[in-house]
Amino acid sequence: MKYTEEHEWLDEEDGIVTVGITDHAQEQLGDLVFVELPDIGTEVSKDDEVVVIESVKAASEILSPIDGEIIEVNEELIENPTLINEDPTGKGWFFKIRADDLSDMDDMLDEAAYKALIA
């Protein structure tokens, strides 16, 4: 897994990158009550707003960490946004993106660097 300073995690397999938020991020947000996901087929650029989440504390935008095409979204989150709180790096993923260039992930944080960031 790779991590961003915006508390997103990325897991790449065969050119497809699954994106979600870290356990640290969901703890800071509190109980999630609403998720708005992107449309499948949407072309996004790094830092485009892709997902809107609302918690009991605040609303936040999730930005795309890389350029690519949204190829799948986690529909379960619409009915059950608390999956993000329960399993942020598993069942609580947001979307899958076909990366334009996987080397965009090269400069992202590894787990040790991310842990140092949030320490």
| Domain positions in the chain | 2-118
Is 62:92 a contact under the CB 8 Å cutoff?
no
- Does the domain at 2-118 match CATH 2.120.10.10? Answer given as no
Model confidence pTM above 0.85: yes
pLDDT at residue 58, rounded to an integer: 87
pLDDT of residue 57: 87
pLDDT one-digit tens code per residue, 4-61 = 999 999 999 999 999 999 999 999 999 999 999 999 999 999 999 999 999 998 899 9
